[in-house]
Amino acid sequence: MKTGSASIDIAADWIRNCSKLFVLTGAGVSKESGIPTFRDAQEGLWADYNAEDLATPEGFLKDPPLVWQWYDWRRKKVQDVQPNPGHFALTEIEQIVPNFTLVTQNVDGLHRRAGSQNLIEIHGSILLFKCFDRGHEQKEIAFDLKVPPHCQCGSMVRPSVVWFGEAIPEKALKQSYDAAENCDVVLVVGTSGLVHPAASLPFLAKRTGAKIIEVNPNKTELTEGCDLFLAGPSGEILPKIVAGLKSKV
Ligand code: APR
């Protein structure tokens, strides 16, 4: 596996010459916008709770106000921040590479706000809501509600995210598999690679011959299987890749 600063040029070359690029992002890409990762978000007021309490269907049914208020707090955080240079760089790469798919595990909506178009939010969105029993989509929901509102069908409303133990919606999963299996370069950014099936997508691509580039300040579960590791924050590395792409267009 290659590492180091000359690797930016190699990454730019691979991306420039690829016919289909598949990008997978995780919480790290939003770090420089000030969005706490799931683990960071369990701080302060929420430090006494774990993932089972806050991000599972069982946790929601056990204590709907608790889960509702946690998501309300996170939705406010997301609303108060802006996409960072890493998000914008991916939008630029999409404009340069003709065939581009971005799968994000993030629920914060920042890729969409930065202008990404061919985007699959594989874990849903914290900005959208559906009813618990039947998945009916909901219109705008006010902030600061202390308890979940109810759908017209009578069910409680919940955030439209994929909780631990829940399946990824079939359409999003199929589109993600298709994109991964048909690409020739993968760019993995800011994910620890611990949560499946998202973390398996780069290796599906590798099986069909794709090269994998990873951008992360730290090595991860995925690093060993990657062809190129670019160590650093995505808000710095991704704009450098864009500059490399533009320098030879
Ligand atoms: N730029 C890029 N990567 C960064 C940065 C940065 N500035 N800062 C931190 N990272 C990296 C960390 O080194 C880590 O590898 O981002 C990764 C974040 O890992 P996680 O917090 O585990 O986030 P993620 O991989 O997205 O988690 C997957 O797990 O919490 C659940 O469902 C939730 O979608 C989430 C899933």
Residues 156 and 173 in one domain: no
Residues 173 and 216 in one domain: yes
Residues 26 and 97 in one domain: yes
Judge whether 211 lies within some domain: yes
Residues 195 and 147 in one domain: no
Judge whether 39 lies within some domain: no
Domain boundary among 139, 161, 183: 161
Confidence label for 2 from pLDDT (cuts 50, 70 and 90) = low
Query: Which residue has its alpha carbon closest to ligand 1 atom 20?
Result: 192
Judge whether 1 lies within some domain: no
pLDDT given at position 48:
76
For the chain, where are the alpha helices, taking DSSP H only? Answer: 6-17, 28-31, 51-54, 57-62, 64-79, 85-96, 110-114, 170-181, 201-207, 234-247
User: The domain spanning residue 115 has which CATH number?
Assistant: 3.40.50.1220
User: The domain spanning residue 48 has which CATH number?
Assistant: 3.30.1600.10
pLDDT digits (tens, 9 = 90+) for 94-123: 999 989 999 999 999 999 999 999 999 999
Judge whether 70 lies within some domain: yes
Count Cβ atoms below 10 Å from residue 144 Cβ, excluding itself.
7
Residues 117 and 140 in one domain: no
Judge whether 2 lies within some domain: no
pLDDT given at position 44:
59
pLDDT digits (tens, 9 = 90+) for 120-152: 999 999 999 999 999 999 998 999 999 999 999
Judge whether 13 lies within some domain: yes
- The question of whether 196 is a catalytic residue gets the answer no
Judge whether 137 lies within some domain: yes
Residues 87 and 138 in one domain: no
> pLDDT at residue 235 above 90?
yes
Residues 70 and 175 in one domain: no
Q: Tell me the torsion sign for CA atoms 62, 65, 66, 67.
A: positive
> pLDDT at residue 154 above 70?
yes
How many angstroms separate the alpha carbon of residue 57 from the centre of ligand 1?
A: 22
How many angstroms separate the alpha carbon of residue 56 from the centre of ligand 1?
A: 19
Residues 54 and 171 in one domain: no
pLDDT given at position 35:
87
Residues 195 and 181 in one domain: yes
Q: How many domains in the chain?
A: 2
Query: Which residue has its alpha carbon closest to ligand 1 atom 34?
Result: 105
Atom of ligand 1 nearest to the CA of 32: 7
Atom of ligand 1 nearest to the CA of 39: 21
Residues 13 and 103 in one domain: yes
- Between 154-163, 177-186, 240-249, the lowest mean confidence (pLDDT) is in 240-249
Interior/surface letters 78-111, b for 16+ CB within 10 angstroms, e for the rest: beeeebbbbbbbbbbbbeebeebbbbbbbbbbbb
Residues 105 and 224 in one domain: yes
> Which is catalytic among the residues 87, 123, 150, 196?
123
For the whole model, what pTM was predicted?
0.94
Residues 154 and 232 in one domain: no
pLDDT digits (tens, 9 = 90+) for 18-65: 999 999 999 999 999 998 776 665 555 667 788 889 999 999 999 999
What's the mean per-residue pLDDT of the chain? 93
Domain span at residue 233?
A: 7-34+83-123+167-247
Domain boundary among 161, 179, 214: 161
pLDDT given at position 152:
96
Among candidate residues 23, 17, 5, the one with its CA nearest the CA of residue 228: 5
**For ligand 1, mutation pick of 216, 223, 230 (most atoms within 8 Å of CB):** 216
Among candidate residues 31, 25, 96, the one with its CA nearest the CA of residue 242: 96
pLDDT digits (tens, 9 = 90+) for 73-92: 999 999 999 999 999 999 99
Judge whether 93 lies within some domain: yes
Domain boundary among 141, 161, 181: 161
